Chain A
């Protein structure tokens, strides 16, 4: 089994502007998705959920406020999953609720770091 990072992106921060009922529903979708993975032993690490604060540091110590500006999206969080290969991890990613909200998921292989 290898580990893959699923990186979530969306074009705005989902909890702003949603009704409490909608937020509840979104939360449930995520819980169901994550719980399903965990039950199958696919979830290596529930990862992190990122807030809206950000700073971006570029060469020559140029610091700009705000998350890294990607066309119009930003990273909202990530998790680590276990899968045989990247295609299997991609299948897992297809169940991610962020896709229902117009966001996307980047799947990346993780290079094992083993000190020597």
Chain B
């Protein structure tokens, strides 16, 4: 088994929804989608959800405000999975709820840190 990252991108979605307790509101679609992969014991880490704050640091200590601007999309979060091949992960990604919101998923292989 190897590890892969899914990087979720979309156009900035405006304010991030929080529950009354101040927590991130996770939609049922996301929960069911990720829960289904986790039920196969293929989820390494649900990863993180990124906020809208951002800075980009470039050579020569040039700092620009805002998330890194990729054409129109920014990264919204990422998760780590385990699978035999990148194709397997790409198949799961096809059901990722971000696609129905017009976003994209990038699947990447993870390199072993001390390997």
> Which residues of A line the B interface, CB within 8 A?
3, 5, 7, 9, 46, 48-61, 63, 67-68, 70-71, 75, 78, 80, 86-87, 89-90, 93-94, 96, 99-100, 102-116
**B3 surroundings in chain A (CB, below 8 A):** 48
The contact string, 1 if C-beta is below 8 Å from chain A, for chain B 69-113, is 011000100101000001101100110100110111111111101
Q: Is the CB of A111 within 8 A of B113?
A: no
Report the minimal beta-carbon distance from A95 to chain B, rounded to whole angstroms: 10
Q: How many residue pairs between the two chains, A and B, have CB atoms under 8 Å in the bound complex?
A: 160
> Which residues of B line the A interface, CB within 8 A?
3, 5, 7, 9, 16, 19, 21, 23-24, 26, 46, 48-61, 63, 67-68, 70-71, 75, 78, 80, 86-87, 89-90, 93-94, 96, 99-100, 102-111, 113
Binding site of A, secondary structure by majority: helix, strand, loop or mixed? strand
Report the minimal beta-carbon distance from A21 to chain B, rounded to whole angstroms: 21
**B102 surroundings in chain A (CB, below 8 A):** 59
In the complex, what distance in Å separates the CA atom of A58 from the CA atom of B50?
Answer: 20
In the complex, what distance in Å separates the CA atom of A61 from the CA atom of B107?
Answer: 13
**B108 surroundings in chain A (CB, below 8 A):** 50-51, 53-54, 67, 75
Q: 5 shortest A-B CB distances, which residue pairs?
A: A68-B106, A106-B68, A109-B51, A51-B109, A109-B53
- Contact status of A49 and B111, CB under 8 A, knowing A86-B55, A90-B63, A102-B59: yes
Given contacts A56-B105, A86-B55, 7 further A-B contacts (CB under 8 A): A5-B48, A53-B109, A54-B108, A55-B107, A96-B57, A109-B52, A110-B48
